[in-house]
């Protein structure tokens, strides 16, 4: 079998493996193998084939890395629970509370130790499954 056929088979294998990962790095390496196959098809000696494939792999990986780093990060998800009022079932001695919200009882903590415990309280944030309460209605973003 001709040398270029081996290069193209490796390129196809890497590109097929890319379908399982979705990272595009194997796609870049598969394209680099394809360039090595083109070099073999043109009749270049094996050292030149490997050099071209390696350079293509390095340049492609660097370009892909820069492209991925240039993409903006997705905005953090805003919980729909923030700003919703809750009914306090009981306050504990340690300052924590048990509240009724969405048909169930939840653990809750005040945003600060000096927060008033009477009146309507609102969810300011979520910390795991614990609700952080405030006496001011938070503004939605």
Q: Annotate 25-84 with DSSP letters as a single string.
A: HHHHHHHHHHHHHHHHHTT--HHHHHHHHHHHHHHHHHHHHHHHHHSPPPPPPPPTTTT-
- Determine the CATH number of domain 85-134: 2.40.50.140
The proportion of the chain whose per-residue pLDDT surpasses 70, expressed as a percent, equals: 97
- Average confidence score pLDDT of the chain: 90
Higher local confidence (pLDDT), 120 or 50: 50
pTM of model > 0.95: no
Q: How far apart are CA 114 and CA 137, in angstroms?
A: 17
pLDDT digits (tens, 9 = 90+) for 73-125: 877 777 788 889 998 888 988 889 999 998 999 999 998 888 888 888 999 88
Work out the percent of the chain whose per-residue pLDDT is above 90.
58
Structure confidence at residue 140 (pLDDT): 56
What distance in Å separates the CA atoms of residue 7 and residue 76, rounded to the nearest whole number?
43
Domain limits, the chain: 3-70, 85-134
Can you give the pLDDT at residue 72? 87
């Amino acid at each position: 079998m001709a040398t270029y056929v081996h290069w193209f088979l490796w390129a196809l294998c890497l590109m097929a493996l890319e379908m399982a990962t979705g990272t595009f790095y194997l796609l870049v390496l598969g394209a680099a193998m394809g360039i090595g196959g083109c070099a073999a098809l043109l009749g270049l000696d094996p050292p030149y084939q490997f050099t071209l494939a390696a350079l293509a792999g390095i340049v492609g990986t660097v370009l892909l890395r820069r492209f991925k780093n240039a993409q903006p990060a997705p905005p953090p998800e805003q919980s729909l629970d923030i700003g919703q009022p809750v009914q306090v079932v009981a306050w504990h001695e340690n300052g924590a509370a048990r509240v009724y919200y969405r048909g169930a009882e939840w653990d809750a903590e005040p945003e600060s130790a000096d927060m008033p415990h009477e009146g309507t309280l609102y969810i300011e944030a979520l910390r795991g499954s614990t609700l952080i309460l405030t006496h001011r209605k938070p503004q939605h973003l």
